[in-house]
Amino acid sequence: MSLQKTIINLLLKLPDPILVSMAGGKPVVRDGRTLDARFQFIAHSVTKRGPPPELTKEFARQGTEILTMLFGGPLESGVSCQDRTLELEGRSIPARSYRPSNQNPLAPLLVFYHFGGGVVGSLETCHALCSILAKTIGCPVLSVDYRLAPEHPWPAGLNDAIDSYLWARDHAQEFGAPAGVAAVGGDSMGGNFSAIIAQEMQRRELPQPFLQLLIYPATTILETEGSMQTCADAYPLTADIMAWFMANYLPNATLGPNLGEDLRVSPALAPSLAGLAPAIVITAGHDPLRDQGKAYAEALEAADVKVHYQCYDSLAHGFTAYTGGVPAADRACREIAAVAARAYRAMGG
C-alpha cells in the first residue's frame, strides 16, 4: 500500500492539463463549476474499472478505508491523539480525542462525527481533519465512532451521537475544556447528526451547542431536484449510492412510509430553526447534497441564526478525507478550521 500511495502521490503532482488529459481529456464541469484536476484524475482512476457486481457493506467499507489510506493526510504536528471508550448506559462507544499543544483552556470541546451515510466510515476517515481543527481552533476534539447500519439501523447511530454529545458536554473538563458546554460538528451524515443534535437539545429544553459545524451535511432525504439531479453521477457520492446508503441506514417500510419526514432523519423539515446554535455550513460544488446544504444555511439565516456559508466549487463530496492527495482539499479544510477558530474567538471561546 505504501508503494501504491507513493506512485499515486507522484502522479498527483503532475500539472493540471496533464492530469485532465489522463482523465477523460477535458475538464469536468457541473452547474458551471469545474472539478479540481486531481479529483478528476482520482475519480477517473476509480470509476474506469466499472462498478462492482454488487455493492455490499463490506466492499464499501473496505473501499472507504483504502481511499483514506491513499489520500488522507497525517496527524498535525503539535497535536496528540488518544483512543478511548465512552461508557454510555450499557453500551461502549469507541472514540478518539485530539489535544493541541496550543490548547486554549477557554475553548469548548468539539464533538465530531465522521461521514459515511450511516453505513461506512470510521475514526480514520476524519483523522487528519480532526487534528487540523484541534490545532487551528486551539480546542480539544472528540471524534466519535458511532454504530453503523445495516447491523445497527436508524436510530442507533444517531442515538450514539446524541448520547456521546451529552456525555462530552458533562465530561469536558477531562479534556481541559470548560465544563458543561461543547460544540458539535461533522461531515455528510456527521453533519446530519450535528444539525439534529442542535434541534434535539431545543426539543429537550437543554442548552444549545456552542457551535454547529456542518460540512456538506445531509439535511433531507426527500430532495430530488437541483444538485441531486445535476450531480447525480458525481464522484464519489452518486444518487444511486445515496439511495443504497438510505436503504441500509433506515429500517424497513414496516415502520411507516413517512420515515423520511421524521426530523431525526431530515432536520431541514423542522417548522422553525429559530434559537439554534450559530452555524458554519460548508458545501462542495460537485456534490448531490450541495443545494440542500445551502438551503439549510439560508433557512438558518432566515431564522436569525448566525451563519457562515461557503461552497468549495471545485471540490467533491468527501473532500475532507483527501487532504493528503488533493492540495485544494487540504486548503479548504484549513480554511474551514480558520473560520471555526474565528467563530470561537468571537463567542469568547
| Active-site residue set | 188, 287, 317
Q: Grid coordinates representing 48?
A: 474506469
Crossing angle for the helix pair 156-170 and 189-203, nearest 10 degrees?
A: 60
Alpha-carbon distance of 233 to 270, in angstroms, equals 29
Residues 65/72, Cβ–Cβ less than 8 Å: no
Q: Does the N-terminal peptide bond of residue 236 adopt cis geometry, omega within 30 degrees of 0?
A: yes
Q: Which residues pair with 88 in a beta bridge?
A: 91
* Amino acid letter, 58: E
Nearest-angstrom CA–CA distance, 143 and 342: 21
345: exposed, middle or buried (Cβ count in 10 Å: 0-12, 13-18, 19+): middle
Q: Name the E strands within 136-265.
A: 141-144, 182-187, 212-215
